[in-house]
Amino acid sequence: MADVQGIVQADSSIKVRSGPRITDASSGTSLPVGTTVNITGFALDPKGDEFRHRYRITLDGNPRWVTAKYINVAPADALLIPYIFQFPNDLVRELREGLGITALSASTTEADDIQAIARFMPNFYLRGNNWDAPQIAKLRGWLEQLYSYGVILHSPGPGGWSLSEIESAFTAIATIAQGMTGFLHFAYGLDDPVLAFRLLYAPLIITRVNRDNVNTMSDSVWFAKNVQGYEVVFGNRVFFNGKSPTRRYPQLPFTTVELIAHEVSHVINYRYQLTDNSGRDVPPDDFYMANINNVAYTLPNGSVVRLVGNAGFGFVARSSDDPAEIVTDAIANAELGRMTFASSVPAQSDAGNARQMQLTDLIKRVMQWQVKHYVDLNDIQAKIDRIRLRNPQLADMTPALNAVAVGDASLEKQMAMLKATPPLL
Ligand SMILES: [Zn+2]
C-alpha cells in the first residue's frame, strides 16, 4: 500500500520523537509548517496530553513520530493509515499501554478488534477496569455502527465513557434511526435506517463529560445539553438505572436512553425549518405550537381526538415548557415509538395514534425541506464555524464530518440521490 501523505499545519514547527509516547526522546529535529510527510502508521499515547493521537512518519529513511493533530490528511486517506502495534506479542499490555484499557485477558483473535477500536480512540477515553474479550468485541461493534450513522463519541479528558454508557448512547441512536426510517418512508418511499438518520442528524458528536453540571454559560445546572444542533453533551446524572421523573410532569418519567434521545432530537429544531400548508418556511417549534400542540385531530377511522399538552406522550424529558422543548419531546417520543398508540386504554391509544400521525407529518416536512435546501459538506462546515465563533466550546467536528465524507455512501451522494427522488405528498 502506498504511504499516505500529510502536510504539517500548526502555528510553528512541530516536534519529532523517536517513539509515539510523550516520554519518548525528541529526535533533535523539528518540522516546519507546510512540510509534506509520508505517514506509515498511527498509535495512541494514553498517558499523553490532550492530543494522544500520533502518526508514524518516515524521515531520512527512519521511522519517527509526530502529533497527529498538527498533520493535515485527506479524510479518505486517513482511513488507510494502519494501527501500529507496540506490543504485538502481549495484547493485554497493548490494550493497557496502547489504548488505555485495563483488560483481564486478550488473545490473538482480539488483535483485529484492537486495531478497529484504535481508530476511534483519539476522540475519547474509556472508563472501567478489567475489560474482557466479549466487551471489547461489543465496543467495536457499537463504535463502527455509530460511525456509519455519522456519529462520533467524544470525551475531553480522563473519566470518559463506560461500556454501559456507550450502550445507552448506541441504543438511543439505533432506535432513532429505526424511527426515522418510518418517516423517510412517508417522505420518499425509501426504507434505509442509515440514510434516514444521516439525512437529519449527521454529523453529530456525542460528548461525555465527567461533571454533574454541563452548563458552562451560567449558574443553572444542566445534566445534558445540545450545542446548537451539532454536539450533545452528557454529564454524570444522565446515566442511571430505571426511570427518573421531571419536576413538572412526574407522572411521565424518562429513562437514560429517552433522555439521550431527547437531547439528540434538539438537532431538528436547531438546524431545520419546514414548509407549512400556506407555503411559508417556519421553524419546527412554531409549526408544532400552531398546528399540533392543542388541536382536535381526526383519525382515519373518523373519530375526533381532542389533544392537549402531553396527550399521547409516553415520557417527558424536557426542562421547561419552551416551544423548542415541547417539539423536541414530541419528536423523541415519535421516533422512539413511545407515543401511547399501544395503550389498552382507548383514549390513550387514540391520542398516541393521533400524535404519531402529527409527528410523521412534521418530520416528513422537515426531511423534504432539508433535501431541498441541502448544499454540501462545505456548507455544513461553514455553519459549524459560525457556531464556534459564539460557542468556542463546541467540540472539534472534523471526525464526524469525515465519517460522512467518503465512499459510495457519502452524505453528498446520498443527498444527490434524494434530490433526484420525487418527494411524496
Ligand atoms: Zn431539552
Task: In whole angstroms, give the CA distance from residue 9 to residue 246.
Answer: 47
Torsion of CA 12, 18, 24, 30, to 10 degrees: -20
CA of 263 to the centre of ligand 1 (A): 6
Task: Read off the pLDDT of residues 350-361 as tens digits, 9 standing for 90 and up.
Answer: 999 999 999 999
4-77 has which CATH code? 2.30.30.40
Q: Which amino acid is at 380?
A: I
Do residues 65 and 24 lie in contact, with contact meaning Cβ atoms separated by under 8 Å? yes
- The pLDDT score that the predictor gives to residue 107 is 76
Average pLDDT over residues 16-42: 95
CA of 94 to the centre of ligand 1 (A): 41
CA of 378 to the centre of ligand 1 (A): 28
CA of 214 to the centre of ligand 1 (A): 13
Q: Which amino acid is at 219?
A: D
CA of 261 to the centre of ligand 1 (A): 10
Q: Which of 119-123, 268-272, 331-335, 371-375 has the lowest mean pLDDT?
A: 119-123
CA of 318 to the centre of ligand 1 (A): 5
Instruction: Give the contacts of 306 (CB within 8 A, at least 6 positions apart).
Output: 296
CA of 341 to the centre of ligand 1 (A): 23
Average pLDDT over residues 99-120: 88
Could you state, in order of their start, the residue ranges of all structural domains in the chain?
Answer: 4-77, 91-148, 178-192+240-419
CA of 326 to the centre of ligand 1 (A): 8
- Cβ density class 75-88: b for 16+ within 10 Å, e for less: beebeebebbbbee
CA of 123 to the centre of ligand 1 (A): 25
Task: In whole angstroms, give the CA distance from residue 358 to residue 131.
Answer: 45
Task: Read off the pLDDT of residues 338-348 as tens digits, 9 standing for 90 and up.
Answer: 999 999 999 99
Task: Give, as one character, the DSSP assignment of residue 65.
Answer: E
3-class SS shares of the chain: helix, strand, coil, % to 5: 45, 15, 40
Q: What Cα–Cα distance (Å) separates residue 88 from each residue in 34, 40, 75? A: 34, 17, 27
Mean pLDDT over all residues of the chain? 95
CB atoms within 10 A of CB 61: 5
CA of 321 to the centre of ligand 1 (A): 9
Average pLDDT over residues 45-63: 92
CA of 262 to the centre of ligand 1 (A): 6
Instruction: Give the contacts of 340 (CB within 8 A, at least 6 positions apart).
Output: 312, 313, 314, 348, 349, 351, 352, 355
Nearest alpha-carbon partner for 71 in 83, 56, 85:
56
- The pLDDT score that the predictor gives to residue 1 is 60
Nearest alpha-carbon partner for 61 in 38, 36, 80, 42:
38
Task: In whole angstroms, give the CA distance from residue 358 to residue 299.
Answer: 10
Q: Where does the pLDDT of residue 50 fall: very low under 50, low under 70, confident under 90, or very high at 90 and above?
A: confident
Q: What Cα–Cα distance (Å) separates residue 44 from each residue in 27, 48, 115, 151, 376? A: 18, 8, 11, 21, 32
* Beta-strand relationship, 36-44 and 53-59: antiparallel
CA of 32 to the centre of ligand 1 (A): 46
Q: Locate 204 and state its grid cell.
A: 453529530
Task: Read off the pLDDT of residues 202-259 as tens digits, 9 standing for 90 and up.
Answer: 999 999 999 999 998 888 899 999 999 999 999 999 999 999 999 999 999 999 999 9
Assess whether the previous peptide bond of 203 is cis (omega < 30° from 0): yes
> To which residue does cell 401511547 refer?
340
- The pLDDT score that the predictor gives to residue 110 is 85
CA of 265 to the centre of ligand 1 (A): 8
Do residues 111 and 130 lie in contact, with contact meaning Cβ atoms separated by under 8 Å? no
Task: In whole angstroms, give the CA distance from residue 393 to residue 333.
Answer: 29
Please give the sequence-ordered ranges of beta strands (E in DSSP) within 163-289, or none if there are none: 204-208, 224-227, 231-234, 274-275, 281-282
Task: In whole angstroms, give the CA distance from residue 161 to residue 155.
Answer: 7
CA of 241 to the centre of ligand 1 (A): 20
Task: Read off the pLDDT of residues 158-176 as tens digits, 9 standing for 90 and up.
Answer: 889 999 999 999 999 999 9
